[in-house]
Amino acid sequence: MAFLSGLSAFPITPTDSDGVVDVLALRKLIARLCAAKVDSIGLLGSTGTYMYLSRAERRRAICEALDETRGRVPLVVGVGALRTDEAVHYASDAKALGAAAGLLAAVSYTPLTDDEVFEHFSTIARESGLPIVIYDNPGNTHFRFTPALIERLGQLPGILAIKNSADRGDAIKGQLAHQKKIVPKGFSIGYSGDWNATEALIAGADTWYSVLGGILPDPCLRMVRAAQHGDYTEAHRIDATLAPVWELFKTFSSLRVVYAIAELLEICSAEPPRPIKPLSAAAKCQLAGVLDRLGSGVGS
């Protein structure tokens, strides 16, 4: 699908302390992304804390986001769950409501084998009818997709893309080249891991699945467009201006930082779901200084 390229922006899902979605805050976040003209929106990703939300609240978030986009931006929705039958329900909900694709991780408590993950993905894709993006997120799931498994999954109808974790910038070029050899033509290969996104895009990745893009889309979109147009000097320049943000991501986690950015920029006020705690006052002050130095570079 053509929309699985460029910048896929992943916003937080603001909720109250009971896990009920703050509809007005979510719609405000989605409206910013639509106004920036991101290529797609990644709703209910890890940044959207999908694993902390009930089925009803996931449905509520999808409905509100789709209503706010009014068809302007495709929605990729996180549909992961520990149980296959639950993930089928989430994917079926997303399909029925109008999502363009589902983002599926190999969520587990008991370690999974390749064959178990293959069956999990094939069942969800087949029974829901929702196009699926493989989400390789070993830092959270403790499962890493092998090249052999990616090749098997890539042959299945309805599985059309992969979101890789760019945890090692020096490994991206080789990994990307190999994946292009083993997946079908038109299969989209993308990366998360914001601080290595520039290198991934320059190496030829189709998509940047961005945490920062979900709250500050403008500089992220400029970086993507520069890389797409072959202006690697400009892409590196923008990336360098965002380096202080990347350092905060590494130190405090991107999730905590983007919640604090939303508050500091008065976009919305929410805290991550417990037991995750928000940034400390000292860390928030450090972040405020970074945002102040970025100034107009962060966009509206």
CA 157 distance to own-chain centroid: 23
Structure tokens at 171: 């490994």
Catalytic status, residue 163: yes
DSSP state of 229: T
User: Angle formed by the axes of helices 55-69 and 23-36, to 10°?
Assistant: 40
Burial (CB count <10 Å: 0-12, 13-18, 19+), residue 217: buried
User: 3-state secondary structure string, 176-202?
Assistant: HHHHHHHCCCCCEEEEECHHHHHHHHH
How far apart (Å, rounded) are the C-alpha atoms in residues 294 and 236? 16
How far apart (Å, rounded) are the C-alpha atoms in residues 162 and 205? 10
Please pick, among 50, 90, 95, 163, the residue that the annotation labels catalytic. 163
pLDDT score at 300: 43
pLDDT score at 182: 97
Catalytic status, residue 135: yes
Cite the annotated binding site by residue number: 47
Going along the chain, which residue ranges are E strands? 6-9, 40-43, 75-78, 101-105, 132-135, 159-165, 188-192, 207-210
Contact 214, 29 (CB under 8 A): yes
| CA separation, residue 1 to residues 15, 25, 158, 294 (Å) | 31, 29, 11, 35
Cite the annotated binding site for pyruvate by residue number: 47
| CA separation, residue 151 to residues 29, 72, 130, 172 (Å) | 36, 32, 20, 17
Structure tokens at 74: 């495709």
How far apart (Å, rounded) are the C-alpha atoms in residues 208 and 200? 8
Look-up of token digits 């943000």: 245
Say which amino acid occupies 164: N
Name the residue ranges covered by the structural domains of the chain.
6-231
How far apart (Å, rounded) are the C-alpha atoms in residues 74 and 293? 33
In the chain, which stretches have pLDDT less than 70? 1, 296-300
Closest CA to 5 of 160, 129, 174, 131: 160
Please pick, among 50, 90, 95, 135, the residue that the annotation labels catalytic. 135
Closest CA to 232 of 197, 262, 278: 197
pLDDT score at 298: 62
Closest CA to 4 of 209, 216, 228, 223: 209
pLDDT score at 259: 98
Contact 154, 184 (CB under 8 A): yes
**For domain 6-231, which CATH number applies: 3.20.20.70, 3.30.1370.10, 3.40.50.970, 3.10.20.440?**
3.20.20.70
Contact 273, 21 (CB under 8 A): no
Closest CA to 212 of 20, 32, 22, 28: 32
